[in-house]
Structure 1
Amino acid sequence: MRFNYKFQHILTLKEREKEETLTLYDESVRQFENAAKKLYDLLKKKEVLEQFQSDKLETGYSIQKIRHNQLFINNLEETIDFWQKKVLATRNEMRYWEGKLLESNIEVKKYEKMKDKSYEYFQQWINTNENNQMDEIAAIQFQHRKGN
């Protein structure tokens, strides 16, 4: 006799949902990492540029070049502000998918646990059935021997 789990279709569906959620989570992690790397690169660039400007101010720097540098730093700060918001948004999205993945894992584990319990019950039922059949066979053999 073969074990047939009555909720197998649901378990398969939940596992598929979990895999899809994992894919979306991995994609959100990748987007977060890319945005964070871009932000880090921009902050590093700003730091280097400010250090360069500071060094040049000590040694002498034309007003035109100072204005040009300051304009560039202001534009860089706007870009940094954009990427900070982008990092925050991608972090929130990553956390959202992380929560969904956790929920999916819990759902799959519930159905797997139910399947395990159902299988244990099935095994007990098979063992009880086999024992009963063995008892019947032994009783029949005993009756045949007694009758002879």
Structure 2
Amino acid sequence: MRFHYTFQKVVDLKGNEKTQAEWMLSSALGELQAQERSLDELTFQRSAIMLSLQNAAEQKAPMAKIREMQEYVEYLDICIARKHKDIRSAHQEVLKKQDQLSTKVLDEKVWLKAKDKAETQFQQSMILREQNELDEMATVRFAMKSL
């Protein structure tokens, strides 16, 4: 006789929920990394423009060009500030997804432990049943020999 756990579908569901939570965390981490890469690009662009601005000032470039570059630096500063906000938001999302994953992992562990406990009880009852059958066979043999 094989062990059949009554709540196996629940155990499977909890495993699927954990897998889905892992995917969601992975997605949130990917978004965070994308935001950080974007910030790095903006910072690099700002550094490049600042260097160009410095060179333009040294080479006595037209004031309109220098002003245009300064406005672009200000625009990049605004973009960088927004990107910092986006990164904080993405980081909060990652923390939220990590919390959800840990909850799902704990939930799955509870159900797996319940399944293991039920399987252990089943095995113990099978061993006890086997032992009782062997004892009964020994008693019958003993009774047959004494007749």
Q: Same fold (TM over 0.5)?
A: yes
Q: TM-score range by the shorter chain?
A: over 0.9
Residue of structure 2 equivalent to 1:87: 87
1:52 Cα deviation from its structure 2 partner: 2.4
Q: TM-score, normalised by structure 1?
A: 0.92
Contact 2:56-2:66 within 8 A present in 1 as well? no
Matching of residue 24 in structure 1 with residue 12 in structure 2? no
Provide structure 1 residue ranges, at least 5 long, that are not aligned to the other structure.
none
2:11–2:111 Cα contact (<8 Å) kept: yes
Distance 2:62 2:141 in 1: 114
1:65 lines up with 2:65 in the alignment: yes
Q: Structure 1 residue 56: deviation in Å?
A: 3.1
**Contact kept in structure 1, 2:25 and 2:97, CA below 8 Å:** yes
In structure 2, distance between residues paired with 1:12 and 1:135 = 39
Residue in structure 1 matched with residue 102 of structure 2 by the alignment: 102
Distance 1:138 1:60 in 2: 111
SS in 1 for 2:4: coil
Give the equivalent residue in structure 1 for 2:124: 124
Question: Structure 2: 5+ residue runs without aligned partners?
Answer: none
**Residue type of the alignment partner of 2:51:** Q
Q: Report how many aligned residue pairs link the two structures.
A: 147
Using the alignment, how far apart are the partners of 1:57 and 1:134 within structure 2?
100
- TM score, norm. by length of structure 2: 0.92
Q: Shift in Å at residue 54 of structure 1?
A: 2.1
In structure 1, distance between residues paired with 2:54 and 2:144 = 109
- Runs of 4+ in structure 1 off by over 3 angstroms are none
Question: What CA distance in whole angstroms lies between the structure 1 residues aligned with 2:111 and 2:38?
Answer: 42
Q: Report the Cα offset of residue 78 of structure 1.
A: 1.7
